Structure 1
Amino acid sequence: MKALLVKYKSVIKFILVFLLTYIVLSICYKFYLQFSDGSKFYPDYITHLVAKQSEALISVLGYNTEVLKHPDEPSMKLLVNNIPIARIIEGCNSMSVIILFVSFIIAFASEFKTTFFYILSGSVLIYTVNLLRIVMLTIGLYHYPHQKDVFHTVVFPAIIYGMVFLLWIFWVNRFSKLKNNNE
């Protein structure tokens, strides 16, 4: 048994660091959501910000866009030309994807400075691509409402998770301790 632990030490360490980081960040995020004051920024600040930024980007593209507080659930309704097209819920704000990304990078951490800046730049990229994804989804649903299931369940998750996967691959091959130990 001890020989197996020694043999798979790096795998066990990766799993433990990943899980611990993921659990701690997820708990912190749940506390943020639980104690978020939805009176000014409904339903929470980050989701509200994503909704407002989506509204601004779609408006820049020439659409009459409005974001309203949903009366029945903790979300923001996104209207294009006075037609309700989408709702932006907490799951749309990219935080859960960023937590997953950060957990993986920390599990394969390199030197502090490199790890910190990769997490920062990767998180900003994920947030930005998620915002663009919402804009594309909304415009796509406005023009092709019958493609809702394909857009929302296949195409757009593939964009965000595909990009995160590519960021992980780039990290492991370029910066991680694993790469540095094999050289």
Structure 2
Amino acid sequence: MKNLLLQYKPFLLFLGKFIVSYLILSIMYQSYLNRFDASRAEVDLFTEIVADQSATVLSWFDSKSYTMPHLKEPSVKLIYKGKYISRIIEGCNAISVIILFISFVIAFTGKFKNTIVFILFGTILIHILNIGRIALLCVGLYSFPNLEHLLHGVIFPLIIYGIVFLLWIVWVNKYSLYATKTVK
């Protein structure tokens, strides 16, 4: 048994760090979300920011783009070209994707400064890409409403998770302690 533990120690350390960091960040985020009352259609601040920033991007293409609160559910209505196109819910703010990204980077330990810088860079990049994703999705839904499942359910999740996967590859191969050991 001891041999197995020693043999799989790097994997077990990775798994332990990932699970612990994911749980801590998820619990912190959930405690933040618990401050909002969904039964009163309250929306968390991150979701409102994402909705407003997405509407700002859309307003570059059409001045009739804006957000408004949804009065019956915890979401923000996104209006494009004067038409209600989509609702932005908590899951649209990409915080859960960012938590997954951060947990993986922490699990594949790197130098402290590199880790912090990469987490900040990756978080900002994911946020910006998510805003672009939502804006493009709204344009797509406006132009091709019959392709909602393909756009919302397949293409755009593939883009955001694909970018996160590429960031992970860069982290593991360039900045993690594993990368420095394999280069030598």
Structure 2 length normalisation: TM-score?
0.95
CA contact (8 A) 1:130 1:160 kept: yes
1:28 counterpart = 2:15: no
What's the counterpart of residue 48 of structure 1? 48
Runs of at least 4 residues off by over 6 Å: none
Secondary structure class of the residue paired with 1:78: strand
What's the counterpart of residue 154 of structure 1? 154
What's the counterpart of residue 117 of structure 2? 117
Secondary structure class of the residue paired with 2:114: helix
What is the CA distance between 1:143 and its match in structure 2? 0.6
Structure 1 length normalisation: TM-score?
0.95
What's the counterpart of residue 86 of structure 1? 86
Q: Distance in 2 between matches of 1:127 and 1:81?
A: 24
RMSD: 1.5
CA contact (8 A) 2:62 2:80 kept: no
Unaligned runs of 5+ in 2: none
Secondary structure class of the residue paired with 2:74: coil
Q: Percent identity between the aligned chains?
A: 46
CA contact (8 A) 1:37 1:44 kept: no
CA contact (8 A) 2:110 2:176 kept: yes
Letter in 2 for 1:121: F
Q: Distance in 1 between matches of 2:94 and 2:24?
A: 17
The 10-residue stretch of structure 1 (87-96 or 75-84) with the greater mean CA deviation from structure 2? 75-84
What are the within-5 Å matches in structure 2 for residues 1-183 of structure 1?
Answer: 1-36=1-36, 42-182=42-182, 183=184
What is the CA distance between 1:114 and its match in structure 2? 0.4
Unaligned runs of 5+ in 1: none
What is the CA distance between 1:36 and its match in structure 2? 4.3
How many matched pairs? Answer: 181
